[in-house]
Amino acid sequence: MQELPDCLYEGKQPTLITPSSPTPNHSLYLSNLDDHHFLRFSIKYLYLFQKSPSSQTLKDSLSMILVDYYPLAGRIKVSDNSTKLEVDCNGEGAVFAEAFMDITCQEFLELSPKPNKSWRKLLFKVQAPSFLDTPPLVIQVTHLRCGGMILCTAINHCLCDGIGTSQFLHAWAHANTTKAPLLIQPSHSRHMLDPRDPPRVTHSHPGFTRTTVEKNSPTFNICKHLQSQPLAPITLTFTPSLILSLKKTCAPSLKCTTFEALAAHTWCSWARSLDLPLTMQVKLLFSVNMRKKLTPELPQGYYGNGFLLACAESKVQDLVNGNIYHAVKLVQDAKARITDAYVRSTIDLLEDKTVKTDVSCSLVISQWAKLGLEELDFGGGKPMYMGSLTSDIYCLFLPVAGNCDAIRVQVSLPEDVVKRLEYYMVKFLDAKEKEEDHSLAE
């Protein structure tokens, strides 16, 4: 993997893109699902397009779409009671940087096939004292020697979840290619997710913990252990045939979805590769869209955080026996627990600001593969590549450009663990399948 060339910026960079016409000036309430500490980061996408629209067209269409999505042109601030965040919808604008890199699309794919430190130069680094001071939307368009472009976006997770970011990006692309009105109007209000008064925590929530836990707790913190070491990204592509083979390991006694099978398999492989104590209790946290699980459902166009992290728990010894049946069942049970009552209980639980997402002994999986992110088209065709700008110990299920039924599993782990994880992730394949598919590891 080679270092990418530097980005060359011309003129005064970056610029602020403001809404093209006046927008409401008010404070937007953020729900407890929006502003809890686990989401205080930006979702960072990287797109590679073979053809680049003109920068002025992209700026003009962004300015137009920020009229509809005006909170993204605002700024995050702490509310008056100092316990919650809100959006100051002041129309200050989104950050837009433009650069040139002396490289072609094909060279990018060959030289730098997965996230690495040199990718960071593809997104303009805003100088801000803290995350809260960073504008909610930061964009860099990098033009390439071949006429293509790399588009990187950083969208504040407190404003949008994965579905919301996809909705916004498609709206921008729509505005870039047509004057027709948006098919889906954004729904801004978060008050459908208000806590009850008084709050009523009616369910157990194993995915959360309180920060008042004993500091000298004997529990081994996997998350901190991994983050204390140099990490290397691993990317494994599961084609439809490989996914079918994986699902067959549960058949015929247990029917499961692609996500359930792959999440269970990844969790089991992760536990085996880390060589954890057999009696240790570990968790799998994974995102579940709850928009249609509420009564009434969240409105179409709701782009705020409309997901919960479902939690499956198991002793390591039950995950490492080579059969994913047990883990699949746990994933299914965790999904089934996400009901209207469970969501309301979670919102009320998060009124207690000492409550945090429990990542200490957890694998976290975020599902990006079925959000339509890889379908984005600004007028020059769909992307040659779509993925995350960065890689972390949190696992992503990513789409594969040109193959909507394939899934790319991406996670960063210590070098020796990466080799073991790759081994366990592909071990279920028989020799014939291995011969047929040499492209599993990228």
Whether the Cβ atoms of residue 124 and residue 140 lie closer than 8 Å to each other: yes
Residues that are catalytic: 157, 377
Question: Is residue 148, in this structure, part of any structural domain at all?
Answer: yes
Question: Is residue 205, in this structure, part of any structural domain at all?
Answer: no
* pLDDT (tens digit per residue) in 263-297: 999 999 999 999 999 999 999 999 999 999 999 99
What is the spatial distance between Cα 7 and Cα 97, in angstroms, rounded to a whole number? 11
Whether residue 113 sits in one domain with residue 41: yes
Q: In Å, how far are 162, 190, 257, 330, 344 from 293, measured between CA atoms?
A: 17, 16, 18, 20, 11
What is the spatial distance between Cα 383 and Cα 51, in angstroms, rounded to a whole number? 9
Last residue of a domain, one of 156, 184, 212: 184
Instruction: State the average pLDDT over residues 110-121.
Output: 91
How many distinct structural domains can be found in the chain?
A: 2
Q: Which residues contact 391 (CB under 8 A, 6 or more apart)?
A: 114, 115, 231, 233, 410, 411, 412
Whether residue 156 sits in one domain with residue 42: yes
Confidence class for position 82, pLDDT limits 50, 70, 90 = confident
Q: Which residues contact 366 (CB under 8 A, 6 or more apart)?
A: 162, 286, 287, 394, 395, 396, 397
Structure tokens at 266: 């990844």
Question: Is residue 191, in this structure, part of any structural domain at all?
Answer: no
What is the spatial distance between Cα 27 and Cα 318, in angstroms, rounded to a whole number? 49
Does residue 356 register a pLDDT over 50?
yes
Whether residue 416 sits in one domain with residue 299: yes
* pLDDT (tens digit per residue) in 100-109: 999 999 999 9
Q: What is the mean pLDDT of the chain?
A: 93
What is the spatial distance between Cα 72 and Cα 87, in angstroms, rounded to a whole number? 9
Whether residue 180 sits in one domain with residue 237: no
Q: Which residues contact 346 (CB under 8 A, 6 or more apart)?
A: 32, 33, 203, 205, 308
Whether residue 231 sits in one domain with residue 111: no
Whether residue 100 sits in one domain with residue 27: yes
Whether residue 323 sits in one domain with residue 178: no
* pLDDT (tens digit per residue) in 363-415: 999 999 999 999 999 999 999 999 999 999 999 999 999 998 999 999 999 99
Question: Is residue 195, in this structure, part of any structural domain at all?
Answer: no
Closest CA to 324 of 386, 378, 278, 259: 259
Name the burial class of residue 8, with classes exposed (0-12), middle (13-18) and buried (19+) by CB atoms within 10 angstroms of its CB. exposed
**Rg, Å, the chain Cα set:** 22
Host domain of residue 228? 220-440
| Dihedral class, residue 99 (left if φ above 0, else alpha if ψ from -120 to 50, else beta) | beta
* pLDDT (tens digit per residue) in 151-187: 999 999 999 999 999 999 999 999 999 989 999 999 9
Does residue 218 register a pLDDT over 80?
no
Question: Is residue 45, in this structure, part of any structural domain at all?
Answer: yes
Last residue of a domain, one of 184, 205, 233: 184
User: Which CATH number belongs to the domain containing residue 356 in this structure?
Assistant: 3.30.559.10
Whether residue 231 sits in one domain with residue 161: no
What is the spatial distance between Cα 53 and Cα 61, in angstroms, rounded to a whole number? 11
Q: What is the pTM of this model?
A: 0.94
Whether residue 154 sits in one domain with residue 28: yes
Whether residue 347 sits in one domain with residue 253: yes
Whether residue 279 sits in one domain with residue 409: yes
Whether residue 241 sits in one domain with residue 169: no
Last residue of a domain, one of 125, 158, 184: 184
Handedness of CA 257, 263, 269, 272 (dihedral sign): negative
What is the spatial distance between Cα 435 and Cα 430, in angstroms, rounded to a whole number? 9
